[in-house]
Structure 1
Amino acid sequence: MTQTIEEKNKAFVLEAFETLFNKRDYAAAERFWSPNYIQHSAHIPPGREGLFALVKGTPDSLHYENGLTVANGDYVLLHGRFSGMGLPANWIVVDIVRLENGRLAEHWDVIEDEATKEASVSGLPMFGTTFPSG
């Protein structure tokens, strides 16, 4: 059975995040991120070098955990948690990346401090529940 472009793109972006954020293999990460990478985040300096420098400056305990991945053509949306950053709260992040020529070419994000189930007005956690299928 052949994978769709969306399935391939989701797997590629998840592998890229694993390589950079969890394995911290910067040489290998270069094959995922375009040298002309465009960064739209208020928290990350411009370009691939800015992103890599930011990760290098975080504690070794930094960890990315993915909860949901959605793709539409060359756009991939990730809903995940960044923990071990040395901050008072983990970050729940929606990352949107655009792929071009087989690499991550552009990035946007929405970041929020994680509220525990107990701290959430809804009584539901921000991460870790099963997303409905379909």
Structure 2
Amino acid sequence: MSQTVTKESKAERNKALVLEAFDTLFNKRDYAAAEQYWSPNYIQHSAHIEPGREGLFNLIQGIPASLKYEAGVIVADGDFVIVHGRFSGFGAPVNWIAADILRIEDGILVEHWDVLQDEATEEQSKSKAPMFGSSFPIYS
């Protein structure tokens, strides 16, 4: 019984860590505070981001301050967390829907993979269900 509780507690801690880290970096843009969440030896697998923690931080520094990150579904298993989220206000004509996969070691983010997709409008969606949240985006 105690193993199950410990595993659930670790999963909950890891999910909270990822949500706090993403909010700190993407929404608050507090780079000094964000350093506590990302390992100096961070391994980046994204095709959109330069290597390491510096690559991620440099990318965010170069994106307009209007960048907004919203988290949706989040799941954790062992040292891995997957969060389904939306990036908006970063200067592209459409929002990005992301599935971010993070590996956590000793309470710090050490590795990252992502899958990114443009957020579809209702007219573009064959399913007629929003990709994120409960409503479709409206682009001008």
TM-score, structure 2 as length reference:
0.89
> For 1:28 and 1:121, how far apart are their aligned partners in 2?
42
**Is it true that 1:8 corresponds to 2:13 in the alignment?**
yes
CA RMSD in angstroms comes to 1.3
The residue that corresponds to 1:132 in the other structure is: none
* 2:126 maps to which of 94, 99, 121: 121
Structure number with the higher helix fraction is 2
Runs ≥4 in structure 1, deviation > 3 angstroms? Answer: none
Q: Which structure is larger by alpha-carbon Rg, 1 or 2?
A: 2
Alignment of 1:1-134 (within 5 A): 4-129=9-134
> For 2:36 and 2:81, how far apart are their aligned partners in 1?
17
Q: Which amino acid aligns with 2:10?
A: I
Gaps of 5+ in 2: 135-140
- Percent identity, aligned pairs only, is 67
TM-score, structure 1 as length reference:
0.93
Q: Kindly state the Cα deviation for residue 88 of structure 1 after the two structures are TM-superposed.
A: 1.0
Per-residue CA deviations over 1:10-63 (Å, capped at 9, x if unaligned) read 001100000000000000000000000000000000000000000000000000
Q: Kindly state the Cα deviation for residue 118 of structure 1 after the two structures are TM-superposed.
A: 2.7
Q: Which amino acid aligns with 1:127?
A: F
Q: Which amino acid aligns with 1:58?
A: I
SS in structure 2 at match of 1:108: strand
SS in structure 2 at match of 1:11: helix
Kindly tell me the number of residue pairs found equivalent between the two proteins. 129
> For 1:65 and 1:122, how far apart are their aligned partners in 2?
22
The residue that corresponds to 2:138 in the other structure is: none
Gaps of 5+ in 1: 130-134
